[in-house]
A and B are shown apart, each in its own frame.
Chain A
């Protein structure tokens, strides 16, 4: 084992000496989690609203005020011509446009049906959908308030009302950050450990030092251990850093056991190091290794793991595919631990899947690496 220790200390010496590597290892994950924590959000806020008010009454003004009162809408301007609403949407100046017809106040007052027009920029389907939902709720609320007001004026009539009291569990404010940041932790752990371990091995190939080591009595598994152990340690340090940012900066609740989280990170690292080793055996240069990792591992993992798109919304065939993506299980584990605070009693199937993937991928990669040598 002295040989492994020797390899380890050499590896850390090289990492310390590489002026680009150290900041990359320590700073990049923190920067990434901060950037992604803000950018990877599906919250819809600051919806830009354009208004054409043909009625110019206090009723129409109070209707528009209901939009701004929610905090989600900003009125970017009133237009004088209904055709201009289309132009504003075209320019991307507004996400939503509302057309209030003439006689709005009169019709509301006399109880005639009122037809409003809402125009949404559907090029971003998600935002359009959510904005229209908000707008529909606001309109319904406005209508209800009129009814209640008039009933109150008439007095004495009780209208039966059914209402649902909703409570949202785990992420009551429906903050995107709470959902996305734990996923970002998983993503960073995967990217860092896979690329660094692959690069570290391929670098020895490029320099020819791998041959020099393999003519020594050192065993291939000792070499692999000496190469992968440093990145296991670094991976764990990164998890700590990124967790710190998630909790301290984004106030993401970490409700589950921190020890269990680290333990399961270790389980996931088996898979990522195995993938890194595999990439290193099929790549001759570091560039090749990076490309291979990006296109054949990171992209499919990113899109099929449930990190970006909810798996439940995918067509059945694709959903089946996601079971072959180890990151999928780890994302479920991380979100479960962060938001629900559950433990192994719930997460054991995911943990088991990770164990199987980890042992399988690492085992095959080690075998492949040794075969390449022979």
Chain B
């Protein structure tokens, strides 16, 4: 415990690597997660987010490198790690043929909760999941949002200092997603470290720190604001054109354009901040006989950062 108290970091990852045969799922990742923060692991499907989380939870052994979770080494002290974490996956791993109450009782029992302590946590979980009055309902009859909150409740019954959430909002409606993030904030405000993977960029905005993962590598790390400032050398313009596809093609060929990408009915153009300008874009498109109805410099969103960084990474 003392070790934990004096340690500023809940998770310390050093050169963590996982290979399956020739395939490198996680490529020497190193990062730290501060105690009590919400750490978001952001990346496309198959980037290695789940593999990393599974290694940190002791479900998978690393090929190389090491990691400490709650001060305990994942390779040599997996049992101590497991006592200090909660884990919830996208699959909301509940027993569908058991009732709400029975699921809570089972997971509480496995974590060794008893007596008054169990009773208090049971009440807490039911309240938190909003399942008061539905205690005897079979879990399979619950909607996605309820299952998701119950799964979270079961995962943190034993009040672990660190919680790993692997794509916890997959397949859940937007309202439930927002409610779920309120629960994540609550956990975090009570001092729990939350490690969450997602591929939703709007969710990543809620995190204190974001690790951007692409093809098994950590390509950026920092707060949402600091990540956006990485794009300072670029100026980003939102353009509305009647012919966005041709416009993007044409702009992409210009040496001062770094990246174009479609955003709803408009598209974004990242230009070199020193050589590109809205006048330059307007002139180029007019020469190509492509009409534009609006052009406007915008501050970069996380999505812009994401697209830019992945483009840079792919070029390497």
Contacts and interface: CB of A to CB of B under 8 A. Distances in A.
Interface of A: 2-3, 5-7, 10, 13-14, 17-18, 207-209, 211-219, 373-374
20 contacts: A6-B106, A6-B109, A13-B98, A14-B95, A18-B97, A207-B95, A208-B89, A208-B91, A208-B92, A208-B93, A209-B95, A212-B88, A212-B107, A212-B154, A215-B59, A216-B107, A217-B79, A217-B111, A374-B60, A374-B61
Given A13-B102, A17-B97, A212 B87 contact: yes
Contacts of A209: 93-95
Interface of B: 57-61, 79, 82-83, 85, 87-89, 91-98, 102, 106-107, 109-112, 154-155
B110 A207 contact: no
B159 to A, nearest CB: 14
A92 to B, nearest CB: 50
A10 B59 contact: no
Contact of B112 (A2, A7, A211, A214): A2
Nearest to B95: A209
A374 B57 CA distance: 12
Contact of A215 (B82, B91, B102): B82
A232 to B, nearest CB: 21
Given A13-B102, A373-B59, A218 B110 contact: yes
Contacts of B112: 2-3, 217
B interface SS class: loop
A215 B59 CA distance: 7
A2 B98 contact: no
Contacts of A215: 57-59, 82, 85, 87
Contacts of A219: 79
A207 B140 CA distance: 12
A17 B97 CA distance: 7
A17 B98 contact: yes
B106 A207 contact: no
Given A2-B109, A3-B109, A374-B60, A217 B82 contact: yes
A209 B107 CA distance: 11
A211 B95 contact: no
Contacts of B85: 215
B59 A14 contact: no
The main secondary structure of chain A at its interface with chain B is helix
B294 to A, nearest CB: 47
A211 B93 contact: yes
A5 B114 CA distance: 14
Contact of B59 (A5, A7, A214): A214
A216 B98 contact: no
A239 B214 CA distance: 57
Contact of B82 (A14, A208, A216): A216
Contacts of A218: 110
Given A2-B112, A212-B154, A216-B111, 15 more contacts: A3-B109, A7-B110, A10-B102, A13-B102, A207-B94, A208-B93, A212-B155, A214-B58, A215-B57, A215-B59, A215-B87, A216-B110, A217-B83, A217-B111, A219-B79
A216 B79 CA distance: 8
Contacts of A7: 110
A70 B82 CA distance: 75
B58 to A, nearest CB: 7
B97 A14 contact: yes
A5 B79 CA distance: 20
Contacts of B57: 215
Contacts of B106: 6, 10
A18 B138 CA distance: 12
Contacts of B96: 207
B110 A213 contact: yes
A213 B89 CA distance: 12
B57 to A, nearest CB: 5
> Which of A6, A214, A216: most chain B Cβ within 10 A?
A216
Nearest to B60: A374
B98 A3 contact: no
Contacts of A18: 97
B89 A10 contact: no
Contacts of A214: 58-59
A25 to B, nearest CB: 15
A101 to B, nearest CB: 74
A217 B110 CA distance: 8
A297 to B, nearest CB: 27
Interface centre among A3, A211, A219 (most CB of B within 10 A): A211
B82 A207 contact: no
Nearest to B58: A215
A218 B107 CA distance: 11
A216 B83 CA distance: 7
A215 B155 CA distance: 10
A218 B111 CA distance: 8
A213 B58 CA distance: 12
Contact of A212 (B93, B97, B109): B93
Contacts of B61: 374
B91 A207 contact: yes
